[in-house]
Structure 1
Amino acid sequence: MKRCIPAGLLVVSLLLNAGCEKAAMRKDSIEIAEEENKARENDSTMNVVREDQVAFMVRAASANMMEVEAGRLAEKLGSNVGVKAFGKSMVNDHTKANQELKEIAAAKNIALPTTVGNEDQKYINKLSKLSGPEFDKEYISMMVKDHRKDTDHFRRAAKDEEFDPEVRTFAGRTLPVVERHLEKARQLDEAIRKAK
């Protein structure tokens, strides 16, 4: 009987340890990047960039990755030709924007997320279970909401004269692309609603 207790404790401890490791794996990549950047604030190799600018860059990187993944799904699962074409342009434009953002971040020693954030991943997971007209409707609806929010963020960053010049230039150069995406998403959303 005495041998069962230690063996039982060993099993329980292994299960608890495995549970802790899974919880750590689920940590949001945005939070990880934010924590790395906070740790780097005291590091002399990090160029001086305001916290709100770092937050803008971290969020933009996650949004770019989400829109690339969602765009790939649109190409694969969408039924509307316009939705498929829009998805392809999301992949191209947001891959390019994210590459430019990564270069700026690297020069300033700023950590960016390496995967989409948890909230964005939930959306990708939801989309991956849909197809056809149901996918088209959900995808385009989300693209309208997401690009509306992104337009506001990029506009603020482009106009803030206290922003780092490179970050501000990136935001100003990317803003018209995001605005075009928003307009196209609205047009597709309207067309899909009328087609019902």
Structure 2
Amino acid sequence: MKHALIICAAASALALSACQRQEAATNDANPGQTAPVNAAQDAIGAVVGETSAATMGATTGGFVNAAAMSDMYEIAAGKMAQAKGQSAVVKAFGKKMVEHHTAMMNGMKPMVMAAGEAPPTELDQRRKGMLDNLTAANGADFDRVYLAQQVAAHEEALTLMKTYGDGGQNADLKAGAMKAMPKVQMHLDEVRKLQMG
């Protein structure tokens, strides 16, 4: 069932990408992305991410990869929020995400190295697409898109930490995941309140 969901989401993302390229090719005034396509990509990405976190979080390599991607995305998106955010609360939340996720990533490094794993050094295409969608959003739309992405990203991170914390093979990484869970939950609770206004 999970594989069918991922395949369906991937097919939808490809179709949306094709629509976006076709629309961009026919609209010279807006050669970049469009808000409806970006919103659909982010929604599909959230489903794929949640499913991926529940499956990838079951293995040490998958957990390390996904946790590093999560932190790298949060840091990049947080920097963007500080620069492009319209409201003071979005800018402040972005700053907090840079600080907290840098600390979380640095805290996990010794455990990752001790486990003999190598974290990725760059973002995957899904998260690069999320950042592209943030780049394309301007004004009040930026704040709305950023907060929506933050809810999805923290739901995914919480699932990842819980999955590995419950059944991970490496005791140190498992403890690290359990330690990270309350902070990720706090971020999720905070961003949901910000989203409600």
Q: TM-score normalized by structure 2?
A: 0.68
**Superposed CA RMSD:** 1.6
Counterpart contact for 1:127–1:139, Cα < 8 Å:
yes
Equivalent residue, structure 1, for 2:30? none
> 2:66 & 2:155 partners in 1: Cα distance?
14
Question: For 1:116, what is the secondary structure of its paired residue?
Answer: coil
Question: For 1:57, what is the secondary structure of its paired residue?
Answer: helix
Residues 1:178 and 2:176 are matched in the alignment: no
Equivalent residue, structure 1, for 2:130? 123
Whichever residue aligns with residue 106 of structure 2, its letter is Q
> 2:120 & 2:87 partners in 1: Cα distance?
32
> 2:144 & 2:116 partners in 1: Cα distance?
40
Counterpart contact for 1:77–1:130, Cα < 8 Å:
no
Runs of 4+ in 1 over 4 A off after TM superposition: none
Counterpart contact for 1:147–1:178, Cα < 8 Å:
yes
Unaligned runs of 5+ in 2: 1-56
Residues 54-73 of structure 1 aligned to structure 2 (within 5 Å): 54-73=61-80
Unaligned runs of 5+ in 1: 1-49, 192-196
Deviations 1:141-194, CA, capped at 9 Å, x for gaps: 01101111211111122222x531101110011101100110011001111xxx
Match of 1:140 among 133, 142, 147: 147
Q: CA deviation at 1:131?
A: 2.6
Equivalent residue, structure 1, for 2:83? 76
> 1:79 & 1:119 partners in 2: Cα distance?
25
Give the 3 Å change call, closer, same or farther, for CA 108–77 of structure 1 in structure 2. same
- Length, aligned pairs only: 141
Counterpart contact for 1:64–1:97, Cα < 8 Å:
yes
Identity of aligned residues (%): 27
Equivalent residue, structure 2, for 1:190? 196
Residues 1:149 and 2:156 are matched in the alignment: yes
- Max Rg structure: 1
Match of 1:166 among 152, 167, 172: 172
Residues 9-158 of structure 1 aligned to structure 2 (within 5 Å): 52-158=59-165
